[in-house]
Every structure is written in structure tokens, then in C-alpha cells.
A and B are shown apart, each in its own frame.
Chain A
Amino acid sequence: MEAGAATRRARPEVVLHGLRTRPRGWLEWLTTTDHKKIGILYLFTTFLFLILGGVEALIMRLQLAQPDSTLIDAGAYNGLVTVHGTTMVFLFMVPVLAGFGNYLVPLMIGARDMAFPRLNALSFWLLLFGGIAFYCSFFFEPPQAGWTMYPPLSDDVFSPSGGVDAWIFMIHLTGISSIVGAINFVATIHNMRAPGMSWGRMPLFVWSILVYSYLLIVALPAVAAAVTMLLTDRHFGTAFFDPAGGGDPMLWQHLFWFFGHPEVYIMVLPVFGMVSEILPVFARKPIFGYKAIAAATVAIAFLGLLVWAHHMFTTPTPTVVLAFFMLSSFLIAVPTGIKIFNWIATLWRGQIVYKTALYFAAALPGLFVIGGISGVILAIFPVDWQLHDTYFVVAHFHYVLFGGGVFGLFGGLYFWFPKMTGRLMSESLGKLSFWLMFIGFNATFLPQHSAGLSGMPRRIYDYSDQLDVTVYNLISTIGAFILGVGVIVTVVNVLVSLKGGKRAGNDPWKGNTLEWFTQSPPPPNNFDVVPRVRSVEPMKDIRREVAAAAVPAETVAQPAAPRSL
């Protein structure tokens, strides 16, 4: 007894005066370097941009509901086309994945934060200010040359307003944000995985974020160079893209699409990763062909770097080049097909639990396959000569990026919301949202295939009633509003569930990966003990051991000594 008291007395004093107190309230959000808070900042900001981009789309759809509509004029319409595309690509799809990645990657690999927490905060703030810089153009004149910003139209002669410069500024800011974020992901994933988590045991979502990061690092410098050249063309007298000065507008297209096509895979691969996490959990089965899916992710990324000129089939380009890019585009269909078959095989002979997250995740292969098939049709370059720059293409990439991208993202939102907030989202509102979005989405974009085939080009504010596309456009507009209501139902669901949702507990879905091991929402340090990973589904092992030993999960996890701390 005496000895025990002595040891207690000899314990070092806890010193607090050297510690800075953590700021509270909004100041905490401004100064945070916690990957979870940054992740939530990302998600909040990008969903705001989704809503902005969505409203822009709805205004365009209203304008196109009838021929000879006078709601907005050509300049305003071209501005909306440009701002909608730019917002969805640069300010929603790419950064929302950085948001999910930020929140989930350290949790999934059993790390306590990202490798460079301050750099991580820098990424977010650069994104936010990039978005603000871009939207400031609304106070003078937004750019009107399309999100692809082809010169000579985007040169100072044809686009004298500062809108294009705001766009260039935004590309630079969000580009630096993405590259910095990507380097952070690479460093984190390579170095900070839990003990035992070899490459073959890494969650597929983490695989996809790793590939996303490498693609960003490879592809973004091309567009950064291109927009810098455009900036000097506009203001400092160079002629990189001006044929009168010895330049060539084709150079822009090659540089832009060398970035722009990998960008497509940057936007969808992490969503595929989410679906590869969600489907097995609700099918109560392991993912079918883990290695094939991881390998397909890498293969798609590699091939994705070799297909850029399929956006340029109608430009003056030799046939042999067109044929090369047709074949390389065909090749991508193989690993993509593998993923779709693997997801279906994951559902096969499962015990599928119908939660909202599963609805969205299972809709992805069903919708993406339509975008994939129309993609193969478009890859055949003589056929593309008819379909290029028509609504068929608009339908194609919305099936890929909305059907494949946003549906998967919403699945991810419903799946991980309980982990982020500790609350479950309403299932009935979720399913209502799903069906509205599913019906609205198909009603919007299915008829657009036919509108394009009938000869309706993209990016026109008005069309003739001679063109036989009136009814397609009307259906499309009605569908777009149903889709919009569906998205709003989910927004309401999020707001309601934040405070009023049922308590989720640590692991509401019986998940497979480490984020379900910690509390919901996770504490600032994520894990008090980091479990040793023995398979690709560490939580399954832990649950099994808990069931066998009838002791709390924390005890079973066996802290792996100082290395993981």
C-alpha cells in the first residue's frame, strides 16, 4: 500500500500552460488542420457548388423547354453553359472526392491524420478562393467560351471581358489545391497505413484515391501550362494559339484534353471505389475479384492518359491518329467492363440489405453501363463525326458523370454520413430522394440521345421547331426538375438528420473497413489503438473475434505497439 502511494506521488505533473487552447466555434473551422474537419469543409463547400451548378442547369433547361424561348439571351446562355460545366468539374466533382478522401482515407488506413495536415488545410482554402474568384466574374461578365475554353474564341479579341481571366485564375488556384492535396494523399497512403495493411489489404476506395492522386499529379500540369499560355496570349502579346502569329488553336485542344480526359477518370474512379466498398457491405459478401478491381483501376488510369484526342475526332487530324485514339478508347472499355461485372458478381448470391446507400450504389453500374456503351459508340470515329458536339455527347457524359459519378457519391453520402455525424439519415426520405433522382435523371438524359441523333448541337440557346427535337427537350426539362427535387430531398434529409437522426453507433452497417472501428463521429485522434490488419476486411475479423471472445472490440484489437502510435 505504501509503495503504491509513493509511485502515484512520483508521477510527472500534467502541464497545461504550454498548450494553446483549441479555438472554438467558427474560428475552429477556420484554423483546423484535422483531416475530418477539412473533409467536412470540402463536402459542405462542394455541395454548395453542386447546388449552384444545378440551378444554372435548371435555368438552361427552362430556356430549352420550348423552341424560340426568350427567357435568356445567347450571351447569358453561353455564360451558363460555361459556368455550369466549370463548376461541376472543377468545383464539385474533383474536390468533393478530395473531401471524401480527406475524411475517409486516414480512417480507412488506420492513420491519425493526413501526412501534412497544414498542407491539407491549404488545399481546401485554395479551392474555396478559386471558386470565389471564379464566381466573382458574375459581377462583371462570366466567361462564355464553354468550359473547354477553346481559343481563338477565348482570346482577348473574341472574349475581351475578364470572365476568361477569372476562369484562368480559378484553374490555377484549384489546380494547385488539387496537386497539393494529391501529394498529401500519396504521402499518406504510402507511409501511414496500419500495421499489416499491405497493398493487397488496402480498401478499394483507398486504391482509387491513390490512383486519383497520381492522375492529378500527371494531368494537371498540362492544363496549368495551357491556361498560362492563354493568359499570356490574352495580355502579354504572345501567340501560342493564334494562327496569325504562327501559333495553333489545335495546341490548346491537345494540352487541354491531355488533362481533360484523365480528368474524367479522376472524377469517376474514386466513386467506383466507393461503390466497391458499399456493395459488399450490403450484399453481406466479400467484394468479387478484389485484385481484378484494383488492377482495373490502375489500368483505366494508365489507358486514360492515352485517349485524349478522341475529343478531337472532327479536327483536321490524320486518319492514322484517329484510328490510334479509337483503339485506345476501345481498350478502356475492357477494365471498365471488368469492374461492372465484378460489382454484379458481388451482388450475386448475396443477402442484399436494401438501405438507401445500396440503392444509389447499385444504380451506378446500371446507369454507368449506358454511358459506357454510348462511349464505345462515340469512340468509333466515323460515327463520332455524326455525334460529336451534339446532345448525344451531352447525354453520354451525364450518364458517366451523373449516373456514374453523382449517384455513387450520394451512395457514399448515405453510407458514411452516420460515421461523420453519429446520426443515421432517414431511410424513407433517402429512398424518396433516390427514386426522384433516378426517374428524373433518366427522363432528363435518355431523350437527349435522340435529340442529338436528330441533329441538335450542344451549346445552343435556341433551336428551330423544324428540328423535331421539341418533345425531347420538353421531357428533358421536366426530368431535370424532378431530378432537382430529388437532390433537394437529400439536402433536407441531411439537415434534418444532423440533429434529429437516430444514433448510429460505431458500426451501423456491419462495415468491412477500419473507419467503422472507431466512434461516430471519430475523436480528433481517430483511434486510441490501431488494430493490426490481417485481411482486406479487418472489421470482419474483429467482429468474429469479439463474438468468439465476448470482450469489447478495443481489447481484441491488440494495439500494435509504438509503431502505429
Chain B
Amino acid sequence: MPRRFTRCLLTAALAAALAVFLIAVPGASADLLTPESGGSPNADDIDTLYKITLYVAIVIFLIVEGTLIWSLVKFRWRRGGPQAAQIRGNTPLELGWTLAAALILVVLTVVTFLYLDDIENPPPSGPNGLRADQARFASIDQPDPPRSGGPYLTIGVNGQQYLWRYDYAGGDQLFSYYEMVVPTDTTVVLEVTASDVIHSWWIPELGGKVDGVPGHVNKTWFKIPASKAGRVFDGQCAELCGDGHADMRAQVRAVTPDEFEAWAERQRADIREAGEALAAQRERREAEGEVD
């Protein structure tokens, strides 16, 4: 039986290779098969929802591959073996697996809708978040406020080839590029759009991606727990947007509400200063006759 031996050997080699691959791949093995999470409750909920689906998927995978490989090995042609069974179908069996497949999908649908509300709708900011009196950003005219009210921070995110601009809502003009600074334990609602081509905002640990489409505003949110203050979350544009697509990175820096206030003051002052410098320069150039 040399041929059967070769086949066994090949199967064993394949199984071994797969096992080595699954075990030896460096990086946290927990992250091998799950999405990034940990920065925001919606990312955590997506992770949980994914894991539930993955467990169901693994069971189905093992059943299908198991029966397939078992049939291929067990029912291979042998000299003097039994005749192939001339079966053309089996209605109860076929109805059975149709219903079973449908049932699994019903379960997945129910689970998805159970988690959907928590993933989609932002919770209110926590007690250690940006306080209402601090939060002049918590404008009340925004649609889709958090479920139970409370202060939150709205940031307009605008994708441009090849960087992101962040406009903080309310009060004096406050904006920044590339790095978004946000207070921890505060619900941050992002209103994402783009001004040239389509971009996609994605910080994996802070939840799913949303496309910035010119002419549309797309929403998402995150709420970074207080324990993550000082962390920087990386991400990059997830929709092909031109030559610089791979370089269109983004960062979200989580700081305590007090640090955030301080940063916002500095940033506002910088912007004011830059504006004043610009005005001064224009006046100087007008005086020198360079411009009308």
C-alpha cells in the first residue's frame, strides 16, 4: 500500500504544517483570529459579536471539512471494494440540512440585532469625562445625541488627499490635522466627510470604519476608557484614494479631560496667533505694494 502511505503522509504533513502555522505565528495568538478592540465599547462589542460568529463558523467548518475528508479517505476506490451506492437523493436529509442552515442564520440575525444598538448608538459620557461646564463643545443642536443625553464632543472629520482634518464643534475655531486629541471617558461623535475623493476613517481599536464620501456626512463614535489616557491609537485610510493612500495615516491621542482642555487652549491660541500673523503679513505686503 505505498500509495495509501504517501497519501497518509501528505495528510499528516498538511495537518502538521497547519498546526505549526497556527501555533508558531508570532504576535499575540489571541489576536490571530479576532479584530482589534479595547479602545472603545463599540469596538469591544464588534469583537464579541465577531467571536460568537467565529465559534459557530468553526463548528460548521469542522463538520464540513470533517465529512468531506472522511468521505474522500473512506470511500476511495479499492480493488474488490463494495459497489458505489446508487443514491440519487434523500428528501428528509436535504430538507434537514436546509432548515439547519436557515436556523443558524436566524440565530446569527438575532445575536446581531441584540448587539446592534450598543454598537451603533453612543452611550453618554462617563463621570470622569469632559464636564458639561467644561464642554462648550457639547452643542445641543447636533442630531443623534447619545441615548440618555449628557455632554459629548462632536468632531468633524474631513478626509483630503492625503490627510485628515479635524474640526472641533462649538466655541472658537479649533482644528487640527493628522493627530486627533480627545478626552478619555467622553463620548466622541465623529461626523466624517471628504472634500476630494472618497476616504475611509478607520482606527481599528476604536471601532469600525466609516467612509467619508464627498457630499455626504457619515457618523461614528467612540468612547475611550479613562484607563487608556496617554495612549495613541493608530489607523489609516481604508479606501483607495490615490498615490498617497498608504501614507494617509491618522492618530488618536487619548488624554485626560484636563489635559484636553489645556491642549485645546494652546491649540486655539496657536490658531489665533497664526491668523493674526497672516493678517499682519497681508497688511505688510499691501503696504509694500505686493498685493492690492
Binding site for B on A (CB under 8 A): 73-75, 78, 81, 144-146, 150, 152-153, 158, 243, 248-250, 283-292, 314-316, 319, 323, 326-327, 330-331, 333-334, 337-338, 340-342, 344-345, 347-354, 362, 365-366, 369-370, 373-374, 376-377, 380, 382-390, 435, 439, 446-447, 449-450, 453-455, 457-463, 466, 468, 471-472, 475
Contact = CB atoms under 8 A, between A and B. Distances in A.
Contacts of B214: 152, 243, 249
Contacts of B161: 158
Contact of A457 (B49, B120, B236): B236
Contacts of B211: 314-316
B8 interface: no
Given A288-B89, A315-B211, A362 B68 contact: yes
A455 B36 contact: yes
B77 A153 contact: no
B75 A74 contact: no
Given A334-B101, A351-B75, A389 B200 contact: yes
16 contacts: A74-B245, A144-B242, A286-B87, A288-B87, A316-B210, A338-B94, A338-B101, A342-B94, A350-B84, A351-B77, A376-B53, A385-B207, A386-B35, A447-B25, A459-B240, A468-B27
Contact of B50 (A78, A314, A349, A377): A377
Main secondary structure of the interface of A (DSSP, over half): helix
Interface of B: 10, 14, 17, 21, 25-27, 31-36, 43, 45-46, 49-50, 53-54, 57, 60-61, 64-65, 67-69, 71-72, 75-78, 81-90, 93-94, 97-98, 101-102, 105, 108-109, 112-113, 115-116, 119-120, 161, 196-198, 200, 202, 204, 207-211, 213-218, 234-247
Contacts of B94: 289, 292, 338, 341-342
Given A314-B200, A460-B246, 10 more contacts: A150-B239, A314-B209, A316-B216, A319-B120, A347-B75, A352-B76, A366-B68, A369-B60, A380-B50, A475-B21
A352 B200 CA distance: 50
Contacts of A290: 88-89
A250 B68 contact: no
A387 B49 CA distance: 13
Nearest to A287: B88
Q: Which of A153, A340, A377 gathers most chain B CB within 10 Å?
A: A153
Contacts of B34: 453
Given A340-B64, A377-B53, A454-B27, A435 B75 contact: no
Q: Which of A340, A449, A454, A466 gathers most chain B CB within 10 Å?
A: A454
B141 to A, nearest CB: 20
A344 B85 contact: no
Contact of A330 (B76, B105, B196): B105
Given A249-B214, A315-B218, A338-B101, A289 B89 contact: yes
Contact of B64 (A291, A314, A365): A365
Given A314-B211, A352-B77, A369 B65 contact: yes
Contact of A349 (B61, B84, B97, B241): B84
Contact of B213 (A315, A435, A446): A315
Contact of A385 (B83, B88, B208): B208
A369 B43 CA distance: 27
Contacts of B198: 150, 152-153, 249
A342 B133 CA distance: 65
> Which 8 pairs, one residue from A and one from B, show the smallest C-beta to C-beta distance?
A385-B208, A243-B215, A460-B246, A349-B85, A284-B84, A455-B204, A316-B218, A316-B216
B197 A341 contact: no
A249 to B, nearest CB: 6
B89 A75 contact: no
A550 to B, nearest CB: 22
A352 B60 contact: no
A338 B238 CA distance: 35
Contacts of A347: 68, 71-72, 75
Nearest to A373: B57
Given A249-B214, A344-B64, A383 B108 contact: no
B243 A350 contact: no
A362 B196 CA distance: 48
Contacts of A390: 238
Contact of A380 (B81, B89, B108, B239): B108
Given A78-B243, A249-B214, A352-B75, A471 B209 contact: no
Given A290-B89, A369-B61, A450-B25, A250 B213 contact: yes
Contacts of A454: 27, 31, 36, 204
B2 to A, nearest CB: 14
Contact of B84 (A285, A334, A384): A285
Contacts of A331: 105
Contacts of B33: 449-450, 453
A93 B61 CA distance: 26
Nearest to A455: B204
Given A352-B75, A461-B246, A466 B87 contact: no
Contacts of A389: 200, 209, 238-239
Contacts of A144: 242-243
B36 A344 contact: no
Nearest to B95: A292
B210 to A, nearest CB: 6
Nearest to A81: B240
Contacts of A284: 77, 84
B216 A455 contact: no
A77 to B, nearest CB: 8
Nearest to A365: B68
A334 B102 contact: yes
A281 B235 CA distance: 52
A74 B208 contact: no
B36 A386 contact: yes
Nearest to A392: B35
A285 B85 contact: yes
Nearest to B17: A439
Contacts of B218: 314-316
Contact of A383 (B14, B49, B93, B102): B49
Nearest to A354: B76
Contacts of A374: 57
Contact of B240 (A146, A326, A439): A146
Given A351-B84, A377-B53, A386 B204 contact: yes
A153 B86 contact: no
Contacts of A377: 50, 53-54, 57
B216 to A, nearest CB: 4
A352 B185 CA distance: 62
B246 A463 contact: yes
A74 B246 contact: yes
Contacts of A78: 240, 242-243, 245
